[in-house]
Amino acid sequence: MDWFTDYLHFSLALLAICGPQSAIPIFVNLTEGMGTREKSGIARQAGITVACVLLSSAFFGSTILDIFGVSLNSFRIAGGILLLSIAFGMMKATEKRHTKEEQAEAESRDAIGVMPIALPIISGPGGISAVVIATQLDNSFSHLMAVCMAGITVATISWMCLRLADKLAALLGQTGLNIISRIFGMLLSAIGIEFIYTSLKAMFPAWIA
């Protein structure tokens, strides 16, 4: 697989996992009454945070697995189950949850782009798990760069979605956003199943063809 194909493949997968469109209704709600310049700053803040989280996962994910003594196959199964859980929620078009404490903290300070928008809504456990798993599958430098560029691409798209959140919400409406979430949910469930199947096949080759 050449570098660009590798990059494109993982970019699409990571975009489905992070689902930045799901943050649009929450962003619109939390920034209600703010000026255009202030909203743009928060969108930029969220995009930068998403990039930092995903890139950190790419560079330090393997170290974390080694520290806790977790094998790639075990982590991939856990990640697959997590992705399936997120996918079912997306296919039911339920909003990504954040706690009351996160809501209160977001409303009391200017860093709502960091929490809850970037964390945990966009670059949550699913995205972090996917990046860690991807970097473990291939140790080559070109693959690492493809994963990193995919993370930057998703962060950029997240920034664009939030930058245009008011217009997108008005254009698509809640029904349109729900349809997009369901489509991404189907893709995400397929990725989750693939994670689980690949790991089980590696762990039990005599049982699974």
If you average pLDDT over residues 182-190, what whole number do you get? 86
Find tokens 């982590």 and name the residue.
75
Q: Is 43 within a domain? A: yes
pTM above 0.95, yes or no: no
Q: Is 162 within a domain? A: yes
Distance of CA 203 to the CA centre of its chain: 27
Q: 105 or 162: which carries more pLDDT confidence?
A: 162
If you average pLDDT over residues 167-184, what whole number do you get? 84
Q: Is 208 within a domain? A: no
Tens-digit pLDDT profile for residues 90-101 = 787 655 555 555
Q: Is 41 within a domain? A: yes
Q: What angle do CA 24, 125, 155 make, to 5 degrees?
A: 50
Q: Is 57 within a domain? A: yes
pLDDT of amino acid 100: 57
The 10 Å Cβ neighbour count of residue 187 is 17
Tens-digit pLDDT profile for residues 10-28 = 999 999 999 898 888 888 8
Q: Is 209 within a domain? A: no
pLDDT at 58 exceeding the cut of 90: yes
pLDDT at 169 exceeding the cut of 60: yes
Residue 89 — pLDDT band, cuts 50, 70, 90? confident
Domains identified in the chain, total number = 1
Domain that holds residue 118: 3-203
pLDDT at 50 exceeding the cut of 90: yes
Q: Is 127 within a domain? A: yes
Give the span between the Cα atoms of 135 and 167, in whole angstroms: 36
Q: Is 44 within a domain? A: yes
Q: What is the DSSP string of the chain?
A: --HHHHHHHHHHHHHHHH-GGGGHHHHHHHTTT--HHHHHHHHHHHHHHHHHHHHHHHHHHHHHHHHHT--HHHHHHHHHHHHHHHHHHHHTTPPPP--HHHHHHHHHSSGGGIIIIIIIIIS-HHHHHHHHHHHHH---HHHHHHHHHHHHHHHHHHHHHHHTHHHHHHHHHHHHHHHHHHHHHHHHHHHHHHHHHHHHHHH-TTT--
If you average pLDDT over residues 166-176, what whole number do you get? 85
Tens-digit pLDDT profile for residues 123-142 = 988 899 999 999 988 889 99
pLDDT of amino acid 101: 57
Q: 30 or 49: which carries more pLDDT confidence?
A: 49
